[in-house]
Chains A and B, each alone.
Chain A
Amino acid sequence: MSERRTDLDRLIHEPARLHLVTNLYVVDEADFVYLSQRTGLTAGNISTHMSRLESAGYVAIQKAFVGKRPRTTYRLTREGRAAFERYRADISALLTDGTASSS
């Protein structure tokens, strides 16, 4: 009997992080305000989840000033994009035939 694996990337699988990563995947980079508007997450939530994604090497964070306003910009790294694409393939496989083959 073949082993059934459901080892999805848990770092991305968490709903708030999935929301953030999905929104970042379709753009080059975005700031905190944009992500907050798109996801409805609070500043604290975004900051916490982004720190975890940054630790895993999935997201690059850049803090800068534009005029007198601080701007925190987030961008998916190459690893982050690859991880999200793997996650999409895994969740798709899981939902169609009940298996997730990679992680």
Chain B
Amino acid sequence: MTSSTNLQSLESDAYRASFDDGIIDLFVGLSMVWIGSAWIWLTDLAGVAGVFPAVMAPALLPLRTRIVESRTGYVKWRAPRRCWEQRTLLLVLAAGILMFALGIAAFVMLENSGELTVVEWIMPGLLALLMAVVAGGLAIAMAQPRMMVYAGVLVVAGLAAAGFETNPGWPLLAAGIAITVVGSGMLVRYLRTHPLVTAP
């Protein structure tokens, strides 16, 4: 029925627009810049790579809420949308863990059989390819086509890193800079076009 379809598109448009602030893009981009940089320049301190995302992730939601709710308001989506969002995010997480586990399993098996050539070839780009899976999942979960473009950029950067046998940090750094630039631009535009609104 046309009116149902129109109401669905009204809800979808509103949901898509709720991510127009670019804060999540900025977080993802900066995290990738940090991880890539740590991988390249702090090789002896690989654990540091996860510090930025781990520290910033819990602060992200309250920070975003504070910026967004005073400009575009608070909305609680209907139960089907919330369930779909949670289910998709869980699937993305599960897919990421599964791919990581499969990668390790393949590495161990091939190392034991002495046939590491294929895995070795992809290793420089593996991290970027894993991030591409996460970006693709986020594109579906958040209904944001631009995240699919990020996934594409990560795939290209990952394959290029594999082809040129670079440090695995380079494709992340390159894609992270691109995503950070996009996120910053979106945030600036959002703040310009959405001034603070005072509730009555």
Contacts and interface: CB of A to CB of B under 8 A. Distances in A.
Interface of A: 22-23, 25-38, 43-44, 47, 66, 69-73, 88, 92
Most buried by A among B75, B197, B200: B75
B76 A29 contact: yes
A53 to B, nearest CB: 16
B74 A73 contact: yes
20 contacts: A22-B10, A23-B10, A26-B8, A26-B78, A27-B75, A28-B78, A29-B76, A31-B73, A31-B199, A32-B73, A33-B69, A33-B71, A33-B72, A33-B74, A37-B194, A38-B14, A43-B199, A69-B70, A69-B199, A70-B199
Contacts of A32: 73, 199-200
B77 interface: yes
Given A72-B199, A72-B200, A30 B7 contact: no
Contacts of B76: 27-30
Given A32-B73, A92-B3, A27 B199 contact: no
Interface residues of B, number: 21
Nearest to A35: B73
Contacts of A25: 7
Interface string B55-67: 0000000000000
Interface string B74-92: 1111110000000000000
Interface string B144-182: 000000000000000000000000000000000000000
Interface of B: 3, 7-8, 10-11, 14, 69-79, 194, 197, 199-200
A93 to B, nearest CB: 12
Nearest to A25: B7
A47 B200 contact: yes
A29 B78 CA distance: 8
